[in-house]
Chain A
Amino acid sequence: MPVLDLGNPQRGGRTLGAVLGVLLIAILLSLTLPPPGRGAAPLGRAALTSEVVAGPAALPGWTTLGGSVNRSGATASIGPTVDDLRWERCLAGGAVRAGPLLTGSTVFAASEGGYLYALNRTDGGRVLWSRSIGPGPTTGDYAAPYLLLGTSDGRLSAVLGSNGSLAWSRALTAPVAQGIAVAGGIAYVATTSGQVEAFRVADGSPVWSVPAGAPVSGAVALEAGTVFLATTSGRVLALSGSNGSMVWQASVGATVASAPAVADGRVVVGDGSGNVTALRASDGTGLWRWDARSLLAADSLSSTPSIGEGRVAVATDLGEVVSLNATTGQPAWNRSYPNSGYPVRDGPVTTPGFVYAMAGATTLAAIELATGNASWSTSLDGGSASQSPLAVSGNEVVVGDDAGCVLDIGTQGGPTIWPVAGTVRDPSGAPLPDVQVVIGSRIVTTRADGAFEFALPNGTYTVYVFRTAYIEDVLSLNVSGAVRDLSVVLRPLATFELSGTVIDSRSGRGLGGANVRVEGEFGYVARTTTGPTGAFVLLAGNGSDELVVDGPGGYSGRVERIEVPGAAVAGVIVAVDPSGLSIPSADPHRLDLILPFGVLAAAALGLGIDALRSRRRAAGLPPALLSPFGRYVAMRALLIPGEVAAVLLLLYVFGTFLPAAAAGQNLCELSSAACRSCGWSDPGCVVAVFGNGFGTFLGRLATGDWGFASYGPLTEPASQFLQWWLPDSLELALVALALSVGIAYPVSILSSVRPESPLDVGSRLGSTLGLLVPSFLVLLAVYGVAYGPFSQALGDDPYGLVPSGLWLQSHGGSPPWIGIAGNTSPTGFPIVDSLWHRDWGFAALATAKTLLQAGVIALIYVAIYLRFLRGAVRRALAAPSVVAARARGLSEGTILWHHAGRRLLPTYLLVFGSTFPAYIGAQALVEALSNDAGLGTLLLSEILQTPGSGFGFRPGPGVNGNLYQVAIFLVVLLVLVLRLAADILARYLDPRMLEEGRR
């Protein structure tokens, strides 16, 4: 008995009569009503209430099946982006059969038991009124001020939407099939027996009635004065709305259970054999057909397709939701949902952003229109196998289920989101694809037809529209409703002819084969190559341009700024300098010529020294030419070329020759020497090619002709990258090394002085852990801890090439002294340069970034450094001088910092020399993971990007040259030179080491 509202004090039992009256009503109601569903509304109270049905004008309505009389299922509302339940109201009388229909804030829905409800959807689904309307309502339609309802006993009734009072009721020959269409005060219906009838909405008087020739189970659709319907015999009819006369008819070949959808001059019908057929609306000519059985065999269609946004969306009976191109019928995407075994009677709804569908009759699914990605889906209790269609309005979808409840799903109290759509064209009217349209933090790119879409809440926005080589457009947009036709015209950047000559700066002769590039405003780029006389002509953007010349092989590049003042510019002369180590390109790098001379020279030198030694010996002098120290330096320095040669050979064999041979490439391409093709069957040729290829490799290495490297969007000559980023790495190295030594020096001394002290044990443990925990985890942990404070204090991320765009924007834009690769000028050292330009904010940020990275490097490297230092320091402290000092009674502090400290310096140098490669590894990794400018970043990205073709072997111009070989070579050179310097310095400081070395 929960139906009665006994607790209402206004009507509480003050007198016995009132109590008895209420009880009587309750008993009567309980006899007539079926058991109500969950939380059924207090009918008694609602029936007494009379409220005006009115809502904010901003709420779009959904007053008929499919949202509009053409049954397109399309709406300008965007629909909900989340599946939050706003409210749920369960009706008396079981499954929802007619509605929900929305007008303003009112929702109409009728249950199978014959109860019609008006609910307020802005007030948690509060019941405005409800009434009984007779058995089995099948369909509804709101045509102000009436709500028209068809019932299964074949009656059609009109109820006033405002209070539910009955206006008129009339009997038809048979029940109304699925839907009513109203236009111009006339309502059109098809009955299940196959009669099409028109009558006046005001009083229900008939206008015309014609037979359709077969039973009908779908609604009629109305478009431009024509009534469209499809019969269960598979015929599609178009009738004149004025008198019911036949305009055309066509057959789709299988039974149709739903209404046709009509839009954009097309009639789209889904039939029981799974076909979706598009006919021309004017004459019924077939346009295209798509078969749902191409996805799932035995699939069929019982619901109306939805036409909108240039797509046709269909929901098949087996749970597929498919989006088709409306013009061609080609499927764009499809998604599968659970199949409940019921036919799907609710057609999908297309909004500018989503397709909403009752997939498989039980799942309410929201799918992104453009991509087909599932946005959300929710399973309805008891499903909705009924004819209660989806209603979409604003950010809500309202649906009724078979358990008898009306659900409103959407954003709780959020702003209404509106679709904003538009097209970008050029001045000639041609659509522009790939245009970036930016509103707030959202960016979209226009499609091939120049169109773009957004979904935005109310507000005023600044819209930026830009495309490479077009002049940027900025407009202001006020969104307070759907914007369908935001039209933007982008003017292309005017271009003018720029001509000139590239010459050799020494000889003044024209240079052919130089790559010339113009970089203008708005991302404009044009390229060309100079002709044999060095002349070039290209189109440059109006305004200020950068002219970039990559000299031909053996020449360095040059960048110049050119002003194009709205007219052609001619006679530009760019002089490029020959690079120092140039080998004339006509002369291939002939190792077979250079090598014998080298061997002869070395032999001559050896003989000369031997002769000198024997003459000294004959003169009674010690045969050695140099002091022990000088001899050590000379020996070590002499070793370097041999080591370099070995490394080069290693790099060539493993980096170039073997991979190229394994890839089955023509070995002749390894060298610049002339040979056509060379196979393994000809060993002589292979040996010759090996030698020549090595020569080419060395030649290119020496001349800086290192091919191209790429990092992110940049693809530049490898040498250019080195020039940009080397200072950055050096700066970091200086800081990191200072930091490492600053930590390692006191720790190693103190822990050696007090073995097994907490410091000693701790440092040993720490260094073991530091070795074992992979360094990138150390980095992640440090960045994780530092990120918050860092970005709070300095306003930017602790990683990245340069300050982020956001940071630069809030600090007055990108300064002109930062280049495209995050390289700074004039020195290239970011900290130095920012101080030079007095950009304190940048300096602070760069210093903090460098310190953070240096800290991580130090953490990693000190672990290794300490491990090798421990023993060496302990040995040094056992030296006689230290023992003597201690015996003289000097304090431990004095001994430590004066005697031992000085004695330790050579040890530190030696250990540093031998652990330097480990240091390089740590720095490379930290740079790469911090995504900072530097050789480490380049090195790792090169290794990862281009395995195994090898520098020196380039099948074509512009192909990456595997910079990693060059980088490794440079690293090795650096390691060898630094180690040499460290060793020599150590022996200079502590000559006793010379003795050890000789042993």
Chain B
Amino acid sequence: MLDGLLRATPFDLALVGGPILLAMAVGAILGTYAGVSQGAIDLVVTGAADVIVGVPTFLLIFVLYLGIVRWVPIPDRLLVFGLLFAAILWPYYARPVRALATEVAEERYVEASRAAGARRRRLVARHVLPNSLAPIFAQAPVDVYSIFFVLTVFPFLGCFAPYPFLTVLPATAFPEWGNLLALGACHGWSFLSGIDFWWMYAFPLAAIVAFGTGVSLACDGADRFLSGR
């Protein structure tokens, strides 16, 4: 079990951390630009974000993933899964960042900088972006949840019936916390204490909770650091 969890760690860091960091970066930049520029970019970003946010994350990831999975060679599927997740998650960062950026853009120090002749790119990078980042730290733990939800629920459901769907899932072939947890809960869970093999699900769960708590604390810390408290 420990061996499985340890071997799973790099996969999980990549599979969960990668998309979130990517989505954070894309979301923050697009959100800030949209908030500052208020023009066609704003309309496009807001529209796209509204559409994506309108669909429950786990449904959307499967529509997209199942749509293109057959076009992707098997070794690349993990990467594509991560990229698709990033593609779905960025609006969750862009929307609150944009909302805050519109406020920040009207702050006096931004006005001052604009009056001093700063170009827009510098304006965004130096002033608006750093001051609009706070909301993304509230979102990151939620996305850790979203990703583990997908990684856990489907292997869990599939554990009761060999659905064709699972053959194309990216993470069933190697140790991965969510997968380990799903299989552990499926095969190990019982309400009877004698046959409840609790370690099969307790340790993967602990790994996920520890990771999530870590992300949550890190985000709170980053939030406080940026807001100067």
Q: Which residues of A contact B (CB under 8 A)?
A: 639, 642-643, 646-647, 650-651, 653-655, 658-659, 662-663, 768-769, 771-777, 780, 784, 787, 864, 867-868, 871, 914, 917-918, 920-921, 924-925, 928-929, 939-940, 943-948, 964-965, 968, 971-972, 975-976, 979, 999
Could you tell me if B57 and A647 are in contact, using CB atoms closer than 8 angstroms?
A: no
Given A639-B47, A921-B57, check contact A654 B149 (CB 8 Å).
no
19 residue pairs of the A-B complex, CB under 8 angstroms, read A643-B50, A650-B51, A658-B70, A771-B142, A771-B212, A774-B148, A777-B201, A787-B191, A867-B141, A871-B138, A917-B55, A929-B157, A944-B157, A944-B163, A944-B165, A945-B163, A947-B168, A968-B60, A976-B54
Residues on B with beta carbons closer than 8 Å to the beta carbon of A787: 191
- A976: chain B residues within 8 A (beta carbon): 54
Name the A residues within 8 Å of B54 (CB-CB). Answer: 643, 647, 917, 972, 975-976, 979
* Complex contact B55–A968 (CB within 8 A): yes
**For residue A946, which residues in chain B have a CB less than 8 angstroms away from its CB?**
164
Check A971 against B66 for contact (C-beta < 8 Å): no
Which A residues are in CB contact (< 8 Å) with B67? 653-655, 658-659, 948
Interface string of B147-168 (1 = CB under 8 A from A): 0110011101110010111101
* Cβ 8 A contact of A864, one of B66, B142, B156: B142
Q: How far is the CA of A60 from the CA of B66 in the complex (A)?
A: 64
Which B residues have a C-beta under 8 Å from some C-beta of A? 47-48, 50-51, 53-60, 62-64, 66-71, 95, 102-103, 106, 138, 141-142, 144-145, 148-149, 152-154, 156-158, 161, 163-166, 168, 178, 181, 185, 189, 191, 201, 205, 208-209, 212-213, 216
* Among B67, B181, B213: residue with most chain A CB under 10 A: B67
Contacts of A642 on B, CB cut-off 8 Å?
Answer: 47
CA of A646 to CA of B138, assembled, Å = 28
Tell me whether B64 and A654 are in contact (CB under 8 A).
yes
Majority-rule SS of A interface residues? helix
Q: Which residue of A lies closest to B168 (CB)?
A: A947
Does the CB pair B50–A776 fall under 8 Å? no
Chain A residues lying within 8 Å of B152, measured Cβ to Cβ, are 774, 776
Task: Apart from A772-B212, A774-B178, A867-B138, list 6 A-B contacts with CB within 8 A.
Answer: A647-B51, A772-B213, A868-B138, A917-B56, A946-B164, A971-B59
- Say yes or no: A639-B68 contact (C-beta < 8 A), given A647-B55, A774-B149, A921-B58: no
Contact A773 B103 (CB under 8 A): no
A768–B212 contact, CB under 8 A? yes
Decide: A651 near B154, CB < 8 A? Known: A643-B50, A662-B71, A945-B163.
Answer: no
Across-interface contacts of A773 in B (CB, < 8 A): 205, 209
A944 engages B189 (CB within 8 Å): no
Indicate which residue in B50, B69, B148 contacts A772 across the interface (CB closer than 8 Å). Answer: B148
Chain A residues within 8 Å of B58, by CB: 921
Contacts of A768 in B (CB 8 A): 141, 212-213, 216
Partner of A776, one of B95, B102, B185: B185
Give A860 Cβ to nearest chain B Cβ, in Å.
10
- Which residues of B sit under 8 angstroms from A647, Cβ to Cβ? 51, 54-55
Closest to A651 in B: B63
Q: Are B66 and A654 in contact (CB under 8 A)?
A: yes
**CB-CB nearest in chain B for A939:** B59
Assembly CA distance A740 to B64 (angstroms):
31
A662 with B53: in contact, given A871-B138, A944-B157 (CB under 8 Å)? Answer: no
**In whole Å, how far is A392's beta carbon from the nearest beta carbon of chain B?**
33
Q: A777–B185 contact, CB under 8 A?
A: yes
Chain B neighbourhood of A658, CB < 8 A: 67-68, 70-71
Return A195 CB to nearest CB of chain B, in Å: 62
* Beta-carbon contact of B47 and A943 below 8 Å: no
Are B168's CB and A772's CB within 8 A? no
Tell me which of A918, A924, A928, A965 contacts B63 (CB under 8 A). Answer: A965
Asked if residues A944 and B158 are in contact (CB atoms below 8 Å), the reply is yes
- Alpha-carbon separation in the docked complex, A979 to B50 (Å): 10
- Distance between Cα atoms of A999 and B67 in the complex (Å): 38
A968 and B51 CA atoms in complex are apart in Å by 12
Alpha-carbon distance A929/B51, docked complex (angstroms): 28
Given contacts A925-B153, A999-B102, are A948 and B70 in contact (CB under 8 A)? yes
5 A-B pairs closest in CB distance: A654-B67, A662-B70, A772-B212, A944-B163, A771-B145
Complex contacts, A776 vs chain B, CB 8 Å: 152-153, 156, 185
Cβ–Cβ < 8 Å partners of A639 in chain B? 47, 50
